[in-house]
Amino acid sequence: DTRIKVARLADLTASYDGMNSEKSVLETQRSKLRDQAPEELDIAVSSAAIDRHGVIQNLRSALHTKRVALASLLIENTDAHPDDLEVAVLEADIFQQDRGAASQAKALKRYRSILKANTEMAAARVGLARYFLVFYQQAKAMRELERALSTNPRLVPALSLLAAIHVGNGDYDSAEELIQRALDVNRDDRETRAVQGALAWIRGQKDTYEATEKAVLAYDPHYGRYYLTVSELVGERQRRYDVAAEFARRAIATDPEDGLAYTVLGEALMNLGRTNEAREVFSEGQDKSKRYEDVRRENWLEVLDHLDSFKTIETENFVVRMHPSELEVMRHYLPDLLETSWETLTAKYGFTPSQAAH
C-alpha cells in the first residue's frame, strides 16, 4: 500500500519543472537507508523522483512511520543546505509529529529559528500552531494560523487546521468558509475532507458525511486519520465520547500502525471512565509508536498511576474519583451538589445523557 502511495508521488513529481537535480542527495539517502533499514528503501525513496521536490514529497509520504531514519537524513541535508528553509520546516515537522516532549522542544526551537530567518515562512507557522495544540494552547495556535494566512491566504494546511479549531469551538459557519477555501485550492486534500466529514457528522448531515468518507477512502483506503479527526472533534464539541471511541477504533482498523489513534481512543475511554481499557490501549499505542513518546499519552499514563490510589463515589448519575485526603470532607456534600446540577442542566438543555458522567 505504501509503495503505491510512493509510486503515485513519483508520478506527480515527474510533472514538476525547473527543479535542480539532486541525484547526489537521493543516492545518499539510498545508501543510508540500505545500511540502516534496507526494507524501507523502496518506501522512503523512489527511483522516479530524483529532484529535490520529489525527495521532499517522498519524505513527507513516510513521515509518521519512518521518522527515525528520515530525521537523520534531513538533519544531514539541513546542515549541508542551511539556507534551505523548506527542508528545515520539514525537519521541524518530523520532530513535531514525533509528539514526545523532547521532540516537541526541538520542533519549537527550529520553527522559531526559521521564522527568525524569514517571518513570512507560513508553513513554519502552521507547524508552530500544531505544537501549541499539543499543549492545549489554542489561542496561540489560532494566532499563528491567522498570521500564516495573512502571508498565504491559499495555504491549505492552515485553512484546514483553523477550520478544525472552529468546529471544536462550535463556530460552524467560519469552519465551513475555511473548508470551502481549502477545497477551492485542492479538492482532494485529505485533512480538509476529514474536517468536512466531522462537521457534517456533528450537524447531522448524514449524506454529506458518507459522501466525504467515500471520497477520501477511495483516494487513500488506509487514511485512518479521517476517522481520527472525526473522533477528536465529536469528542471535543459534543462530548459524545462513546461515539469518539467508536471512530477512533475505525481509525485503528483502517491504519493499525498509527500510534496517535491509540492515544485518541485511550482519551475517549478515560472520559468514559473505562480506565482499565484505556491503560491497555495506551500501552498498545506505545508499542505501535515503537516506544516513542507522546506528550498526551504519557500524561494520561501518569494520571492512571495516581488514580490507582483514588477512591470512588457513585451516585445515580455520576462516578467520581477523588484523593483519599479529600474523601472524608467531599463525600458529605458533593453527591447532592452533583445530582442537583444534573437536574438543573438536563432541564435547561432538554437533553438527558444515557449513561453516568465520570
Convert the pLDDT of each residue in 296-355 to its tens digit: 888 888 888 888 888 888 899 988 888 888 888 888 889 899 999 999 988 988 888 877
pLDDT in tens, 262-279: 999 999 999 888 999 999
pLDDT at 196 over 70: yes
Q: In this predicted model, what pLDDT tens digit does every residue of 22-78 receive, in sequence order?
A: 344 444 444 544 455 444 444 444 333 334 454 455 455 444 444 445 555 555 555
User: Contact, 220 vs 4, CB < 8 A?
Assistant: no
The cell numbers describing 110, all together, are 527550529
Q: Exposure string (b/e) for 25-61, b if CB count within 10 Å is 16 or more? A: bbeebeebbeeeeeebbebbbbeebbbbbbbbbbbeb
- DSSP 8-state symbol, 317: S
Quick: pLDDT tens for 103-113. 889 899 999 99
pLDDT tier at 4 (50, 70, 90 boundaries)? very low
**pLDDT over threshold 80, residue 189:** yes
SS (H, E, C) 72-94: HHHHHHHHHCCCCHHHHHHHHHH
d(CA 41, CA 302): 37
**E strands, 53-159, in order:** none
**CA dihedral in degrees (156, 161, 164, 168; nearest 10)?**
-160
Mean local confidence (pLDDT), 13-18: 35
Terminal-residue alpha carbon distance, the chain? 40
State residue 294's pLDDT score.
Answer: 82
Who's near 203: CB < 8 A, 6+ residues apart?
172
Among 1-15, 124-138, 149-163, whose mean pLDDT is lowest? 1-15
Query: At residue 11, does pLDDT exceed 70?
Result: no
Residues 6 or more apart whose Cβ sits within 8 Å of residue 2: 43, 61, 62, 65
Residues pairing with 313 in the sheet? 320
Q: Residue 51 has what pLDDT?
A: 46
